[in-house]
Structure 1
Amino acid sequence: RRLAHHYGADPVFISASATLSGPGELLQRLSGVPEVVEITEDASARPALDYLIWQPVDDPHHEGAEVMARLVTEGRQVLTFTTSRVQAELVALRAQERAGSVSVKSYRSGYLAEDRRALEAGLQSGRLRGVACTNALELGVDIAGVDAVINCGFPGTLASLRQQAGRAGRAGADALAVLIPKADPLDAYLCEHPELIFEAPVERTVLHPENPQVLALQVAAAAQELPVTEDDDRWFGPTLPAVLERLTAAGYLRRRPAGWFWTRPDRAVDSIDLRAAGGHSVEVVDQDTGRVLGQVDPSAADRSVHSGAIYLHQGEPWLVTDYRPNEHTALVRPGRDGYFTQALGHSDIEIIEKLRHDRLGAAEVFFGTVELSGQVTGFLRRDELSGTVWDSTPLELPRHTLRTQAVWYTVDAAALTGIATKDLPGAAHAAEHTAIGLLPAFAPCDRWDIGGLSTTLHPDTGKLTVFVHDGAAGGSGFAEQGYERIEPWLSATLDRLRNCPCEAGCPACVVSPKCGNGNDPLDKAAAAQLLELLLR
């Protein structure tokens, strides 16, 4: 709009979506247009879609692979969505073993563009009958012949679940959608309340254009198109002066009488990665041939392609032999089956600024800016089938900092007298894990988009403190939604702890697949006691 306005144009925006909730509000926030008209009546023709919730007796990914293999051998074209790259590879591998000559492949972000295009062409032509994928195949690829969609685990939001299920039946024939829940707090909660899956409105999309990290990248790219002036705060908001100062100090922009100019000969969109805002992607390279197998986002590289890690590519394990973060490269060689790796780490949180504050029972609740400091300190090798730990290996990797936003609550020691002192670390840790697992029911995020930390005595509060923070630099709006819905969110967390049939804690309540402390300590019963103090 800024560029069009400069040349005397006032464009009209038309936006379409099959699943958005509050589309008018979203377009208004996205474009800045003051008046938006919504057209929400759906008159489109849709074939019948049978929806099945499949309670697994085995690992949901194993059963998803079995169902997928059965369907493709009966002539159906199937997409199986998983919630991680590793599981997409493993499901494809298991399904292919059972499907015989019928072609099944994996599809995920990180593949090279030519590999993705070849897989998409195979789906569109019908030669490829089954694909196990991440949400990289949820949007943006037109595939008409899919007969069935399987979800190995809830994808994080109702919007994603319905978008993925909507991949089936586009050719006009009746279709099938199957949800196989994982041992996860959110999946278990939704299976206890299936009406939420079918009747609840989809989540409203969270936009956080004020994020200084995102805004700085956009302003730099905009400055190359047209010099930015102080009057452009009407387009970029009140934080523009601070962003311009930061970009000028970094050498990206130079101030002249006519405004701020892009200083480099290359294009801003090429030299600044607008998607991987944290730095350059890490290339995964076959050490013997030099072939690039894929790319890993810099924020995930230390945890996923450290030396000794198992990296899965199209169902095949590759062992990382040399991780070179300064060169944005991880060298790999063919690995062996039977195990996967899990990174371990340590993190701290410093409270920078308290922006909002309230009380909830015996607790004080806050939303604000925090600085995370974290380091990957080692990794575990785990059995691929049972998850049993084989061994542990230490690592020496650099410490990283990240300024973002968080919601946190504190509880005075006087209110905790009903919980044994020795049980408090496990109580706070378990409450943190379960809350992280359930925040996607109240904000449009995935548990991998957020993180947390808990301690019985935080140096900035002097009290027992539980944090849940955004994973993106500058914040992404999820923690703020958690603050705004703190009572129903923690009520659902307590409900999950009370209703889970396990005795001491399991992946369906307090055990987290991403815990850097190896899920120790955890105390399910004490966590329920802690949350009761907040909700009584």
Structure 2
Amino acid sequence: MNPTDFLKHLKEQSFYQNQLVHVERLGGRMVRYESLERPLLRPLVEAIQAGGTTRLYRHQAQAIDAIRAGHNVVVATGTASGKTLCYNLPVLEAALLNSNTRALYLFPTKALAQDQLRALTELTQRLKAAMPARNGMPPWLPRFGSYDGDTSPNSRTRLRREANIILTNPDMLHVGILPNHNLWAQFLKNLKFVVVDEAHIYRGVFGSHVAAVLRRLTRLCQLYGNQPRFICCSATIANPGDHIERLTGQRPLVVDDDGSPQAPKQFALWNPPFIDPKKTARRSPNGEAANLFAEMTRQEIRNITFTKARVVAELILSYARQALDRTDPDLKERIASYRAGYLPEQRREIEQALFQGQLIGVTATSALELGVDVGGLDATVSVGYPGTVASLWQQAGRAGRSNSSSLAIMVGLDNPLDQYFMRHPDQLFGRPHEHALIDPGNVYILEQHLPCAAHEQPLTPADESLFGRGFVEAMVKLEEQGIVTYESEHDKWYYRGRPYPAQHVSIRSVGSKPIVLVDSSRKMKRLEEMDEVSAFSRVHPGAVYMHQGDSYMVTELDLIKGQATLTPARVDYYTQPHERSEVNIVRSLKHRQMKLCTAFWGAVRVTQQVVGYRRVRQFSEADLGETPLEMPANTFETRALWWDVPIEWLKHLGARGWDFLGGLHAVEHAAIGLLPLFAMCDRWDIGGLSTPMHPDTERPQIFIYDGYPGGVGISEQGFALLTDLWEATLATIKECPCEEGCPSCIYSPKCGNNNEPLDKRAAIWILESLLRT
């Protein structure tokens, strides 16, 4: 069933109530080839021809020419555009010409590394067939292998000694390779290429950590008299050159003229219908997505349904299985969920089942956004705007990888940003890609990585040029704590902390210890794990946690043992944490005078605490009440944007019978929801606070802060584009058809005050006043 027929089929279903609000028809793109400045080695030409590549796309040829010329390169093109050949071909060519050549391939996940290992194996097998034997001896081929936590000790030794190419991930580089660089001396001395695949993923706190790891790598290569080149591949983003420079510390040549062909695609926007006459509530987007997922399964349309949260992936799978059980019970085992947290062997099984067609579809978090090969798909569903245009197109690009047309559907959530796009599809499909944001000078992150660097090799003042802004402040703090000591005789800082510091630094979270989730009904079988800060909100006592579509009740969270005990539960609800936050100003770093107020950006101290949880009915999303809870508070310093609101406006709004605090609160919620329009982030990456009288300023204030220690540049982007943010926020609130406010404009699922008070009219008046000339 083609996309047009399936959309027509959907309109004939009993659940259809005019949810289809827009269909964007995206025409295909013609292929553009280009020749290399000099031909590849003949065996490489024959190897790629045997794999079906007879000519190189324009961007492939440009990238290979630039790499051969000695440039650092970033290839920023679309999904399935053949970026892998951009680095495999020049790396293999260099290894064939000089057997001492070494390359390090970095992938954000082990799954992607394993997938690329298969592709590299197939390419070298074809290369072997193209190379004649000499004197009866088989041809020499570049050696390679995967180096991760599953690699045996014997294999690790062999790879260090013999491999031309090592495929790994930033975690293993951070904790396994760099601290043991003496074992890697020959490899690092001959390291010619560092390949960073899916480089757009390295943003926010994770990207800032990886930037520090890559600087540590560069530093150790320099120790061994070497300066490797970086080859980076990225989805299309607004600032590929600047992003890669911040990530690697090296300025790249940008290759972004995509020459690959693209099949036609239909992209539909699906908005859940209102369920009340006042137009304040919509039908559950999870239920809507489950209907689409189940119907695609019935029609055997191979798909991935992407969600923004693990629990939503599990809920949609559960709802769809219940629907299929009523009509097509044989099909309910042909769908599954796939997300971070599952054990590696579980994820490999699901990938294989989807690739081989045993599964028709999976619900997934962004873990499947990346380029793991799961075979040809017909459709994707994105449950909510994923936070960035780049992620949306990555998800949509997973379908239609051949010349056949494909379908993408985005289901609108009941929040300001999604509803803005539902009403303004041109702003979604005509929107430029966002800037990827990382902060390599984040002092909080440098405080964790500089001890690792000093442990690897004593630091010197010259290292400031490598680690940049934040180096001096971080070193002062580390000296005060006795973690490093300065010896003037050698002009170096020496590490004096506990052994092996890298093992105490998590590069994928804020650094809290892991919590293991176990099933008490199966002899404490390990299900998955998460970091401690996440555990406070997701596996607190009384929480309902979902794993592979099954519900579990959390009976105990033992922070000392690092264990959450779960037991299977038959319940018809799920739980949502209720968090409260406080914000205190540490110092202002920038300020600007707006028309009627002053805006600031600077350092703040945020305290967050889970104070309860709500039970929410499955399918209907009805609120079943709240249970109080007191989890440990989490306090961290970060960066925030805040602005004054004139106190005199209290009288103006009071005279109209409107609620001043309700207006501030509504502006805060809506502005947080719209900030991802301007910064490459998700609304869950940021938090906020509004108050009629802040104790630090004694004025009404609205704060929007980065949700990570040290900040990652999100609020700074909002500060730079504050007028644009106010304008988009005003448009979203005014255009929403509700009378008094709703989740589509001013309600927030993260609100620590149960969305009270909120005043839509006051919010419109405040924003219009802020923007008044």
> TM-score if structure 1 supplies the norm length?
0.95
Q: Which moved more, 1:257-266 or 1:156-165?
A: 257-266
Q: Which moved more, 1:149-158 or 1:166-175?
A: 166-175
Whole-Å separation in 2 of the counterparts to 1:265 and 1:81:
42
Deviation at 1:249, TM superposition (A): 5.4
Whole-Å separation in 2 of the counterparts to 1:306 and 1:249:
36
Whole-Å separation in 2 of the counterparts to 1:148 and 1:223:
49
Aligned partner letter, 1:21:
A
Question: Which residue of structure 1 aligns with residue 509 of structure 2?
Answer: 276
Report Cα offsets for 1:332-364 as digits up to 9, x if no partner.
Answer: 111222112222233211100101111223222
Report Cα offsets for 1:371-394 as digits up to 9, x if no partner.
Answer: 012222222222223333323222
Mark the CA change 1:260 to 1:144 in structure 2 (over 3 Å): closer, same or farther.
farther
Question: Which residue of structure 2 aligns with residue 230 of structure 1?
Answer: 461
Question: Which residue of structure 1 aligns with residue 108 of structure 2?
Answer: none
Whole-Å separation in 2 of the counterparts to 1:140 and 1:226:
36
Question: Which residue of structure 2 aligns with residue 373 of structure 1?
Answer: 607
Whole-Å separation in 2 of the counterparts to 1:74 and 1:277:
43
Question: Which residue of structure 2 aligns with residue 437 of structure 1?
Answer: 673
CA contact (8 A) 2:287 2:619 kept: no
Bigger Rg, structure 1 or 2: 2
Give the 5 Å matches for 1:281-320. Answer: 281-288=514-521, 289-320=523-554
Whole-Å separation in 1 of the counterparts to 2:243 and 2:729:
29
Whole-Å separation in 2 of the counterparts to 1:263 and 1:147:
56
Tell me the SS of whatever aligns to 2:648. helix
Question: Which residue of structure 1 aligns with residue 343 of structure 2?
Answer: 112
Deviation at 1:63, TM superposition (A): 1.8
Indicate whether 1:465 and 2:465 are aligned.
no
Question: Which residue of structure 2 aligns with residue 50 of structure 1?
Answer: 266
Aligned partner letter, 2:576:
Q
Whole-Å separation in 2 of the counterparts to 1:265 and 1:101:
57
Tell me the SS of whatever aligns to 2:560. helix
Q: How many pairs does the alignment contain? A: 535
Tell me the SS of whatever aligns to 1:8. coil
Whole-Å separation in 2 of the counterparts to 1:265 and 1:353:
32
Indicate whether 1:478 and 2:720 are aligned.
no
Question: Which residue of structure 1 aligns with residue 304 of structure 2?
Answer: 79
Report Cα offsets for 1:22-65 as digits up to 9, x if no partner.
Answer: 212222222222x4322221101222222111232232221222
Aligned partner letter, 1:119:
I
Indicate whether 1:218 and 2:434 are aligned.
no
Deviation at 1:253, TM superposition (A): 4.7
Gaps of 5+ in 2: 1-217, 274-282
Whole-Å separation in 2 of the counterparts to 1:307 and 1:278:
23
Deviation at 1:207, TM superposition (A): 1.5
Mark the CA change 1:109 to 1:249 in structure 2 (over 3 Å): closer, same or farther.
farther
Residue in structure 2 matching 1:343, options 574, 577, 595: 577
Residue in structure 1 matching 2:682, options 446, 450, 475: 446
Whole-Å separation in 2 of the counterparts to 1:22 and 1:348:
34
Residue in structure 2 matching 1:121, options 329, 352, 360: 352
Tell me the SS of whatever aligns to 1:481. helix
Question: Which residue of structure 2 aligns with residue 63 of structure 1?
Answer: 288
CA contact (8 A) 1:214 1:277 kept: no
Question: Which residue of structure 2 aligns with residue 515 of structure 1?
Answer: 751
Indicate whether 1:333 and 2:567 are aligned.
yes
Tell me the SS of whatever aligns to 2:380. strand
CA contact (8 A) 2:352 2:374 kept: no
Aligned partner letter, 2:269:
I
Mark the CA change 1:507 to 1:194 in structure 2 (over 3 Å): closer, same or farther.
same
CA contact (8 A) 1:96 1:105 kept: no
Aligned partner letter, 1:98:
A
CA contact (8 A) 2:581 2:606 kept: yes
Question: Which residue of structure 1 aligns with residue 330 of structure 2?
Answer: 101
Question: Which residue of structure 2 aligns with residue 400 of structure 1?
Answer: 634
Mark the CA change 1:194 to 1:338 in structure 2 (over 3 Å): closer, same or farther.
same
Residue in structure 2 matching 1:391, options 625, 630, 633: 625
Q: Which moved more, 1:127-136 or 1:17-26?
A: 17-26
CA contact (8 A) 2:533 2:634 kept: no
Aligned partner letter, 2:348:
R
Report Cα offsets for 1:247-301 as digits up to 9, x if no partner.
Answer: 4555655656664455578644433212123311222222342112222233322
Q: Percent of pairs identical after alignment? A: 39
Whole-Å separation in 1 of the counterparts to 2:501 and 2:356:
37
Q: Which moved more, 1:14-23 or 1:39-48?
A: 14-23
CA contact (8 A) 2:584 2:605 kept: yes
Whole-Å separation in 1 of the counterparts to 2:637 and 2:483:
21
Whole-Å separation in 2 of the counterparts to 1:186 and 1:112:
33
Aligned partner letter, 2:741:
G
Indicate whether 1:17 and 2:234 are aligned.
yes
Aligned partner letter, 1:318:
Y
Mark the CA change 1:181 to 1:338 in structure 2 (over 3 Å): closer, same or farther.
same
CA contact (8 A) 1:381 1:389 kept: yes
Deviation at 1:180, TM superposition (A): 1.4
Gaps of 5+ in 1: none
